[in-house]
């Protein structure tokens, strides 16, 4: 079998493999460390039971969908209260409820989001109380 333009093909292939594996050899073969999130804000430290409105595993996997549901309910249906799985009622508000406990956005939300390369658009409108002080 005759390979046409063998020189160009194999050079291109070699370059491609170099680019493809660049993240590995550029970082010296080490893996990035997972993000360290801090949940020791003053409000959380005062809590008796240290849990979010839902269990941590659920929140980790579903907080995006939960916020979406909240947005739909508050803005479009006009209904402001959420009944958690343990029966407790919470006002559906990113700045008012979530950030009330998790007031350290840059050491909590941003740590995982930056690691994953996620840029949620929330913060262009939703106020971060921590950023207002000073």
Partner 1 sequence: MKSTRRTFLKIAGLSLLGIGTKPVLDAFAAGEEAKIIKAPEALKAKRWAMVINLKKKCPEECRDCVEACHTIHNVPEFGNSKDEIKWIWNEPYGDVFPDQENKYIGGGIQERPVIVLCNHCDNPPCVRVCPTKATFKRADGIVMMDYHRCIGCRFCVAGCPFGARSMNFRDPRTFIRKITPNFSTRTKGVVEKCNFCEERLAVGLLPACVEACRERMAFGDLTDPGSEVRKLLEANFTIRRKPHLGTQPQVYYIV
The residue behind tokens 């508050």 is: 74
Q: Measured from the CB atom, is 50 or 51 closer to partner 1?
A: 51
Do 35 and 118 form a contact (C-beta atoms < 8 A)?
no
CA atoms within 13 A on the CB side of 78: 0
x-marked contacts with partner 1 along 31-70 as a string, rule CB under 8 A: ----------------------------------xx--x-
Residue 17 or 127 with smaller CB distance to partner 1: 127
Q: Is 83 in the site for partner 1 (CB under 8 A)?
A: yes
At its nearest, how many Å lie between partner 1 and the CB of residue 46?
A: 19
Neighbour count for residue 9 (Cβ, 10 Å): 11
**Looking at 39, 59, 93, 115, which residue binds partner 1 (CB under 8 A)?**
93
**In the range 99-118, which residues lie near partner 1 by CB under 8 A?**
none
Contact 128, 99 (CB under 8 A): yes
Please tell me the distance from the alpha carbon of residue 120 to that of residue 108, in angstroms, as a whole number: 14
Polymer length in residues for the chain: 134
Which positions lie near partner 1, rule CB under 8 A? 65-66, 69, 71, 73, 75-83, 89, 91-93, 95-96, 121, 124-127, 129, 132
């Amino acid at each position: 079998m005759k390979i046409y333009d063998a020189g160009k093909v194999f050079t291109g292939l070699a370059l491609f493999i170099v680019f493809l594996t660049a993240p590995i050899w550029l970082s010296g073969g080490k893996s990035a460390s997972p993000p360290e999130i801090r949940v020791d804000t003053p409000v959380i430290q005062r809590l008796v039971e240290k849990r979010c409105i839902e269990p941590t595993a659920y929140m980790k996997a579903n907080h995006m969908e939960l916020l979406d549901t909240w947005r739909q309910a508050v803005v479009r249906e006009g209904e402001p209260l959420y009944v958690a799985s343990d029966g407790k009622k919470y006002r559906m508000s990113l700045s008012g409820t979530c950030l009330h406990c998790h007031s350290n956005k840059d050491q909590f939300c941003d740590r995982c989001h930056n690691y994953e390369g996620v840029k949620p658009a929330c913060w262009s409108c939703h106020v971060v109380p921590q950023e207002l002080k000073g």
